[in-house]
């Protein structure tokens, strides 16, 4: 399971199922064990933000994804994100692009 697997087909899934899959991914996949609880909450918040748009039939634009990536990069020290965290979250956000 990968972050892309969690984010695909968001229109037909409930919020609790997405959160559960993300928790399973972080707990079981060795690539994502480095994510702390704050980073997990950040990822969940981003997924929920895009999920609501996708449920209404709107795919996030490239500019919206780029703005979120830029925000994360600018606040990486305050949020406690490592370069590896930024890369993983960036892959997640790229999965939402049109």
Condensed to tens digits (0 to 9), the pLDDT of residues 34-63 reads: 777 788 788 878 877 887 787 777 888 899
Q: Averaged over 22-38, what is the pLDDT?
A: 75
Q: What pTM was computed for the model?
A: 0.73
CA distance 27 to 51: 22
- Give the pair of three-digit tokens for residue 41: 């909450």
Percent of the chain with pLDDT over 90: 17
Say how far residue 42 (Cα) sits from the centre of its chain. 8
Q: What is the pLDDT of residue 94?
A: 85
CA distance 51 to 96: 9
């Amino acid at each position: 399971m990968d972050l892309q697997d969690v984010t695909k087909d968001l229109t037909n899934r409930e919020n609790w199922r997405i959160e559960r899959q993300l928790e399973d991914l972080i707990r079981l996949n060795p690539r994502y064990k480095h994510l702390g609880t704050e980073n997990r909450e950040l990822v969940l918040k981003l997924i929920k933000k895009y999920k609501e748009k996708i449920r209404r039939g709107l795919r996030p634009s490239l500019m919206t994804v780029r703005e979120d990536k830029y925000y994360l990069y600018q606040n990486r020290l305050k949020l406690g994100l490592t370069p590896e965290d930024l890369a993983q979250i960036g892959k997640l956000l790229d999965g939402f692009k049109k």
